[in-house]
């Protein structure tokens, strides 16, 4: 009997942990001019991101666990595949920020920050897997509300989306390498960390994480985020608190058995908020405008007091299951954030960095871009993120393919006036090309440094060939001036 039971467990684990894509559809092909138009529509400066490849976008449907391994539900997502790339493609999984409107999904090319995925694919030659997440996109009708900030469901959704990307590549005869990159902003930063952790803890043989870049996410759910819940200060996006409450009530029905929604919120929010979130018809911006500026003012005062004073409160216990500070990343991970962020406090990133280092990780970096708002910080994070990924990407083209190539980093990056090249102190010759591949500078370093104040905003590629070496140092940097 024990042997039979063990076999059942093995087959159950294999099925649920490798949930399959069951439908795919080509929904649009973007030409280079199409992608350039998307950039223009976004208001991005011309040349800031190179557009090198046409991109095919596929919508996929697949199954993934919801509350626990046995609770498979349907999820949807988009896969962005650049065309005619010389190198085998790495996969980069993009976790989008907070969404509440079901139709605003990457797989619908609407909301869901799908344009970020398009630019990463068309500009830099990555296959991008972009999950809509459970409860959004072509949502399973059994899911009442998206499981917001829930590590288990969001990490499994991302993993099974990556698996769907691999399946689709096999079907389309697209060559992949074995590198997996993970990135996401805001709520997507949280999902990125959750995915990184799950892969290292449960699937290290199946996935090779080359690097991950979580950006401005809420990682400290039992510290910084609890402080936000109990704060008496106004909050820029007050709809986030009811989103968590409604999602966690569905996720933990046994733990929150006495946590009845009609008793949690004060009128008129006891009926207004469930209707707004459960319908799936409203964006988070609209919902924020329907909320009290101080989030706790929508909560029954007795329940709020209980939550504030009881360190073992059921909701605290539920939040603790998605806390991201109690591990030590093994693959390279770079936290990106801004200390002026009014939506996700920078303390999440700094506390995570300190905790992961204390836990023994040697692979953690962080970068604070300064006193930028949550929305303004995103551009800095994405540009730095792609350069961070490219420093680990195994295939990189330079003009001479007969010599050995070695990627090096430059600092600061993005920059405005001067940059220094990691590990170099010579006056070596350097050539710089713009995003269109045009040579725009040929000269020499000054003891490993270069003044780039004459260059305009944009992304640039460089080649450095020291006289005493048969290695060409290559890489890229961004210029971002006010």
Which of 214-228, 325-339, 457-471 has the lowest average pLDDT?
A: 457-471
DSSP string, 387-453: HHHHTT-S----S-TTSEEEE--EESSSBSSEEEETT--S--EEEEE-TTS-EEEEEE-BTTEEE-T
pLDDT confidence of 102, banded at 50, 70, 90? very high
Q: What integer pLDDT is reported at residue 6 of this predicted model? A: 31
Which of 144-148, 155-159, 253-257, 276-280 has the lowest average pLDDT?
A: 253-257
CA–CA separation, 62 and 451 (whole Å): 50
Which of 37-46, 166-175, 191-200, 356-365 has the lowest average pLDDT?
A: 37-46
Of the CA atoms within 13 Å of residue 284, those in its CB half-sphere come to: 22
Q: Do domains 15-220+323-390 and 405-479 have the same CATH topology?
A: no
Q: How crowded is residue 29: how many other Cβ atoms within 10 Å of its Cβ?
A: 12
Give the ranges where 280-346 is alpha helix by DSSP (H).
Answer: 284-290, 301-309, 314-320
More confident residue, 32 or 88: 32
Q: What integer pLDDT is reported at residue 435 of this predicted model? A: 61
Cβ atoms 226, 316 nearer than 8 A: yes
CA 104 remoteness from chain centre: 17
For residues 337-354, b (16+ Cβ closer than 10 Å) or e, as one string?
A: bbeebebbbbbbbbbbbe
Over residues 76-93, the mean pLDDT reads 94
Over residues 259-265, the mean pLDDT reads 88
More confident residue, 381 or 465: 381
CA–CA separation, 107 and 124 (whole Å): 21
Using CA atoms, how far residue 324 sits from 69, 212, 220, in Å, is 20, 14, 6
Which of 1-5, 54-58, 174-178, 475-479 has the lowest average pLDDT?
A: 1-5
Q: What integer pLDDT is reported at residue 469 of this predicted model? A: 63
Cβ atoms 155, 175 nearer than 8 A: no
pLDDT confidence of 476, banded at 50, 70, 90? confident
Over residues 334-338, the mean pLDDT reads 98
Over residues 21-45, the mean pLDDT reads 93
Q: What integer pLDDT is reported at residue 398 of this predicted model? A: 40
- Does pLDDT of 188 surpass 60? yes
In three-state secondary structure terms, 97 is coil
Which of 88-92, 140-144, 322-326, 394-398 has the lowest average pLDDT?
A: 394-398
Q: What integer pLDDT is reported at residue 328 of this predicted model? A: 97
Helix (H) or strand (E) holding 198: helix 187-202
Q: Where are the domains of the chain?
A: 15-220+323-390, 224-320, 405-479
Q: What integer pLDDT is reported at residue 405 of this predicted model? A: 67
More confident residue, 56 or 432: 56
Any idea what the Cα angle at residue 197 is, between residues 193 and 199, rounded to 5°?
A: 120
- Supply the CATH classification number for the domain 15-220+323-390: 3.40.50.1820
What digits encode the pLDDT tens for the residues 446-458? 988 999 988 888 8
CATH of 405-479, one of 3.40.120.10, 3.30.1330.10, 2.60.40.3080, 3.20.20.80: 2.60.40.3080
Would you state the structure tokens that stand for residue 202, as one six-digit string? Answer: 């449960």
pLDDT confidence of 158, banded at 50, 70, 90? very high
Would you state the structure tokens that stand for residue 259, as one six-digit string? Answer: 């946590």
- 311 burial via Cβ count (<10 Å: 0-12, 13-18, 19+): exposed
- 379 burial via Cβ count (<10 Å: 0-12, 13-18, 19+): middle
Q: What order do you get walking across the sheet with 471-479 strand by strand?
A: 404-407, 471-479, 458-465, 429-433, 439-444
Q: How far apart are the first and last CA of the chain?
A: 70
Q: What integer pLDDT is reported at residue 345 of this predicted model? A: 96
Q: What order do you get walking across the sheet with 449-451 strand by strand?
A: 410-411, 418-421, 449-451
Q: What integer pLDDT is reported at residue 259 of this predicted model? A: 81
- Does pLDDT of 473 surpass 90? no
Computed over every residue of the chain, the mean pLDDT equals 89
Over residues 305-309, the mean pLDDT reads 95
Helix (H) or strand (E) holding 2: helix 2-17
- Does pLDDT of 475 surpass 60? yes
Nearest CA to 390 out of 90, 79, 190 is that of 90
pLDDT confidence of 472, banded at 50, 70, 90? confident
Q: What integer pLDDT is reported at residue 19 of this predicted model? A: 60
- Does pLDDT of 167 surpass 50? yes
The reported pTM is 0.81
pLDDT confidence of 399, banded at 50, 70, 90? very low
Q: What integer pLDDT is reported at residue 18 of this predicted model? A: 54
Q: What integer pLDDT is reported at residue 467 of this predicted model? A: 65
List beta partners, residue 449: 420, 446
Would you state the structure tokens that stand for residue 304, as one six-digit string? Answer: 């709020």
- Does pLDDT of 110 surpass 70? yes
Q: What integer pLDDT is reported at residue 154 of this predicted model? A: 97
Q: What integer pLDDT is reported at residue 78 of this predicted model? A: 98
- Does pLDDT of 5 surpass 50? no
- Does pLDDT of 46 surpass 80? no
- Supply the CATH classification number for the domain 224-320: 1.10.260
Using CA atoms, how far residue 120 sits from 100, 161, 259, 260, in Å, is 24, 17, 42, 43
What digits encode the pLDDT tens for the residues 280-289? 999 999 999 9
Cβ atoms 158, 93 nearer than 8 A: yes
CA–CA separation, 425 and 449 (whole Å): 8
What digits encode the pLDDT tens for the residues 403-418? 566 778 888 888 888 9
Q: What integer pLDDT is reported at residue 395 of this predicted model? A: 65
More confident residue, 117 or 387: 117
């Amino acid at each position: 009997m024990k042997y039979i039971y063990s076999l059942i467990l093995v087959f159950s684990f294999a099925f649920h942990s490798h949930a399959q894509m069951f439908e795919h559809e080509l929904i649009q092909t973007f030409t280079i001019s199409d992608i350039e138009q998307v950039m223009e529509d976004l208001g991005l400066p011309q040349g800031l991101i190179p557009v090198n490849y046409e991109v095919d976008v596929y919508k996929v449907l697949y199954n993934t666990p919801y509350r626990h391994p046995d609770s498979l539900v349907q999820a949807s997502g988009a896969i962005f595949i650049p065309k005619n790339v010389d190198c085998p493609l790495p996969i980069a999984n993009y976790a989008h920020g907070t969404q509440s409107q079901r139709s605003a999904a990457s797989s619908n090319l609407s909301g869901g920050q799908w344009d970020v995925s398009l630019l990463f694919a068309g500009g830099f030659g990555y296959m991008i897997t972009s999950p809509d997440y459970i409860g959004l996109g072509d949502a399973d009708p059994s899911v009442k509300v998206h499981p917001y900030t829930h590590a288990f469901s969001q990490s499994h959704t991302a993993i099974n989306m990556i698996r769907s990307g691999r399946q689709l590549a096999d079907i389309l005869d697209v060559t992949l390498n074995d590198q997996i990159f993970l990135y996401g902003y805001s709520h997507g930063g949280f999902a990125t960390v959750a995915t990184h952790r799950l892969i290292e803890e449960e699937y290290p043989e199946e996935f090779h994480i080359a690097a991950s870049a979580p950006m401005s996410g809420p990682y400290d759910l039992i510290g910084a985020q609890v402080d936000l819940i109990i704060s008496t200060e106004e909050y820029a996006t007050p709809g986030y608190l009811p989103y968590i409450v409604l999602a966690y009530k569905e996720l933990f029905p046994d733990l929150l058995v006495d946590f009845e929604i009609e008793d949690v919120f004060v009128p008129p929010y006891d009926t207004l908020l469930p209707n707004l979130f459960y319908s799936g018809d409203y964006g988070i911006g609209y919902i924020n405008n329907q909320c009290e500026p101080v989030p706790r003012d929508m909560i029954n005062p007795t329940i709020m007091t209980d939550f504030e004073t009881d360190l073992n409160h059921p909701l605290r216990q539920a939040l603790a299951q998605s806390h991201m500070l109690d591990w030590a990343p093994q693959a390279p991970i770079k936290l990106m954030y801004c200390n002026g962020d009014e939506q996700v406090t920078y303390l999440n990133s700094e506390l995570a960095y300190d905790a992961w280092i204390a836990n023994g990780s040697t692979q953690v970096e962080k970068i604070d871009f300064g006193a930028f708002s949550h929305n303004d910080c995103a551009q800095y994070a994405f540009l730095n993120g792609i350069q961070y990924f490219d420093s680990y990407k195994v295939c990189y083209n330079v003009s001479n393919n007969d010599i050995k190539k070695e990627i090096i980093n430059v600092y600061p990056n993005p920059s405005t006036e001067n940059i220094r090249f990691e590990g170099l102190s010579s006056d070596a010759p350097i050539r710089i090309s713009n995003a269109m591949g045009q040579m725009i500078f040929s000269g020499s370093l000054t003891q490993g440094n270069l003044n780039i104040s004459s260059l305009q905003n944009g992304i640039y590629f460089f080649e450095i060939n020291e006289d005493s070496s048969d290695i060409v140092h290559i890489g890229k940097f961004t210029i971002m001036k006010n």
